Structure 1
Amino acid sequence: MKARAVVFAYHNVGVRCLQVLLARGVDVALVVTHEDSPTENIWFGSVKSVAEEHGIDVITPADPKSPELRAAIAAAQPDFIFSFYYRHMLSVDLLALAARGAYNMHGSLLPKYRGRVPTNWAVMNGETDTGATLHEMAAKPDAGAIIGQTAVPILPDDTAAQVFDKVTVAAEQTLWRVLPALLAGEAPHLPNDLSQGSYFGGRKPEDGRLDWSKPAAEVYNLIRAVAPPYPGAFTELHGRRFVVARARLAAPGSPAAQAARDLPPGLHVSDNALFGVCGDSRAVSILELREQHPGRPDHETVLSPAQFAQFIDSSRQS
């Protein structure tokens, strides 16, 4: 008899892990997901579309604690509850409806980077690896026993979006590998020692504000941690906001690195090259600079070095 599951899912990890369950023969009775927000840049796959293509009932409750949602899950009589990048914590009362357990896929190597947006935090903190972990859900976030995990590298110039693509594959591989044992009741439940890990909260677009007084490595890690399709790292100059969409640490001896020694921290242009000077007198070469239009954060114009130089010249004259 097939194992029966209710799946809470969203984003690319939700899409891929739902497909793994179906490929492994799990009877997915119900999918719970989110309505896409009109104010969010939707650059990822649709769990709702995948579920509907397979004829699975889909609901999008605004409140994960509503009695209507609990009733829908109870009616499905799940053996398992799975959560794959669903954005709300599920109550212990809700998890108890799964006769054989409730499991979540988290985008880090637990116990490191519990909490929100773990991939972005890992890149911002200069980590060299991260991964995906399937774990048992508990009252605390990302605190239950570990069922399996897969590591991926973070290369020095990877953006968070590039790392997230790797984490999505790691999540798929982890679930594919451990699911047969989990369904058979034979999967190991390994300790998740929270004392050896860390917890991080969510991030807001304002957290992408650049502080050029910080060391170049720290500035660069922020740029790549929030690079598009995330809201982007930004700086303000003469009342206008500029988003650093693509960048790289300036190589020692490069024109940008040499110019940085004589310039104050901040955004600069020289010899048709854009760069930011940081607090340690090192430079970040800016490969793509966008101007964000007032009142329209979703509307940006890519600026060439010449256009930015013209802006600087006109600002000095006014």
Structure 2
Amino acid sequence: MRAVVFAYHNVGVRCIQVLLARGVEVALVVTHQDNPTETIWFDSVAALCAEKNIPVITPDDPASAALFAQVAAIAPDFIFSFYYRNMLPPALLALAKSGAFNLHGSLLPKYRGRVPINWAVLHGEQETGATLHEMVAKPDAGAIVAQTSVPILPDDTAFMVFGKVVVASEQTLWNVLPDMLAGRTPRLPNDLSKGSYFGGRKPEDGRIDWSQPAHTVYNLHRAVAPPYPGAWTVMDGTTYVIGKARLAEGDYARFAPGLVVVDNRIFGICGDGRALLILSLLTGEEPVTAAQLQQRLDQYGKN
């Protein structure tokens, strides 16, 4: 069986490796050029292709006539998309004789759309996973082929959950691929009425509203903690980013919402009188100690 693969990120690397291990001929890989403004903390699909001698290209537009002609000439049995960041046009998908399939980082139909793991953590979900589904014109709307779930523990960050979803993606593809190669691809209903679509997130979406309850602020921190841009707050013109935090025990209602120092420890006081114990606070990439923050608070008369 021959496949054309659109792939990026760790999921792209691991799922290409699964295809190779199952004996699929990967005739072409389409990936992205790394964005110089983005923190690249994940594995490289292009590097894997160089190692495995797989042809790889990085076109700007997956809907281009040139790419369509190149894929048509390959006449693939399958087209796969593994964390590729662009939608593929229906005419391109139709070139796959046995179907075109995408690996999505949620338990569809929940959390269709962009950055599903971050949204799931932000909303305090206790479970997510990986779904292989058929690609259609509408994003994440095609029939479900297979799913694998993973837990989201109370203190997991999105980065931690992403690591679990990478493994779940590998397991999902590994387990169902023999049936797909034998022409027995499962196609289960994907009831969109039981889920929601979410768009992308920007760094500015990580701004903390300290008037919110502590659990809400903590979920925001977990959803965008490094290597993502982080939950942040501005005090007297300085932007502070939470690198690491935990929900604090006790009642802190005597303090005004925002950053404070108590017993040489940094806390973020929230609107319900509870707090986050901030274990790592950053300005840019520089750590801020409790003593340094206390000095700044004293300087500006904040504490």
TM-score, with length taken from structure 2 = 0.98
Residue equivalent to 1:273: 265
Q: Tell me how far apart the structure 1 counterparts of residues 47 and 269 of structure 2 sit (CA, whole Å).
A: 46
Residue equivalent to 1:103: 101
Counterparts in 2 of 1:163-182, with a 5 A limit? 163-182=161-180
Q: Render the CA deviation track for 1:94-122: whole Å, top value 9, x for unaligned.
A: 10111110000000000000000000000
Aligned residue among 216, 219, 222 for 1:218: 216
Residue equivalent to 2:194: 196
Counterparts in 2 of 1:168-317, with a 5 A limit? 168-251=166-249, 257-258=250-251, 260-292=252-284, 300-316=285-301
Between 39-48 and 263-272, the greater mean CA deviation after superposition: 263-272
User: Shift of residue 309 of structure 1?
Assistant: 0.7
Q: Which runs of 5+ in 2 are unaligned?
A: none
Q: Does 1:18 align with 2:16?
A: yes
User: Shift of residue 316 of structure 1?
Assistant: 2.8
Q: Tell me how far apart the structure 1 counterparts of residues 232 and 135 of structure 2 sit (CA, whole Å).
A: 37
Match of 1:7, SS state, is: strand
Identical pairs, percent? 67
Q: Tell me how far apart the structure 2 counterparts of residues 290 and 140 of structure 1 sit (CA, whole Å).
A: 40
Residue equivalent to 1:133: 131
Q: Tell me how far apart the structure 2 counterparts of residues 136 and 80 of structure 1 sit (CA, whole Å).
A: 11
Q: Which runs of 5+ in 1 are unaligned?
A: 252-256, 293-299
TM-score, with length taken from structure 1 = 0.94
Aligned residue among 81, 84, 97 for 2:82: 84
- The 8 Å contact of residues 253 and 272 in structure 2, kept in 1 or not, is answered as no
Residue equivalent to 2:147: 149
Q: Tell me how far apart the structure 1 counterparts of residues 204 and 72 of structure 2 sit (CA, whole Å).
A: 40
User: Shift of residue 193 of structure 1?
Assistant: 0.4
Q: Tell me how far apart the structure 2 counterparts of residues 141 and 43 of structure 1 sit (CA, whole Å).
A: 26
Residue equivalent to 1:66: 64
User: Shift of residue 187 of structure 1?
Assistant: 2.3
Q: Render the CA deviation track for 1:185-219: whole Å, top value 9, x for unaligned.
A: 11221000000111100000000000000111000
Q: Tell me how far apart the structure 1 counterparts of residues 257 and 103 of structure 2 sit (CA, whole Å).
A: 41
Residue equivalent to 1:296: none
User: Shift of residue 315 of structure 1?
Assistant: 2.3
Q: Tell me how far apart the structure 2 counterparts of residues 268 and 137 of structure 1 sit (CA, whole Å).
A: 49
Q: Tell me how far apart the structure 2 counterparts of residues 313 and 69 of structure 1 sit (CA, whole Å).
A: 61
Between 307-316 and 178-187, the greater mean CA deviation after superposition: 307-316
Q: Tell me how far apart the structure 2 counterparts of residues 215 and 221 of structure 1 sit (CA, whole Å).
A: 10
Between 131-140 and 182-191, the greater mean CA deviation after superposition: 182-191
Between 35-44 and 184-193, the greater mean CA deviation after superposition: 184-193
Q: Tell me how far apart the structure 1 counterparts of residues 261 and 92 of structure 2 sit (CA, whole Å).
A: 56
Q: Tell me how far apart the structure 2 counterparts of residues 286 and 69 of structure 1 sit (CA, whole Å).
A: 49
Match of 1:316, SS state, is: coil
Q: Tell me how far apart the structure 1 counterparts of residues 73 and 84 of structure 2 sit (CA, whole Å).
A: 21
Match of 1:98, SS state, is: coil
Equivalenced residues, count = 302
Residue equivalent to 1:54: 52
Match of 1:177, SS state, is: helix
Match of 1:126, SS state, is: coil
Q: Render the CA deviation track for 1:126-162: whole Å, top value 9, x for unaligned.
A: 0000000000001100000000000000000000000
Q: Tell me how far apart the structure 2 counterparts of residues 77 and 308 of structure 1 sit (CA, whole Å).
A: 62
Q: Render the CA deviation track for 1:158-198: whole Å, top value 9, x for unaligned.
A: 00000000000000000000000011111221000000111
Q: Tell me how far apart the structure 2 counterparts of residues 172 and 11 of structure 1 sit (CA, whole Å).
A: 13
Aligned residue among 82, 90, 113 for 2:111: 113
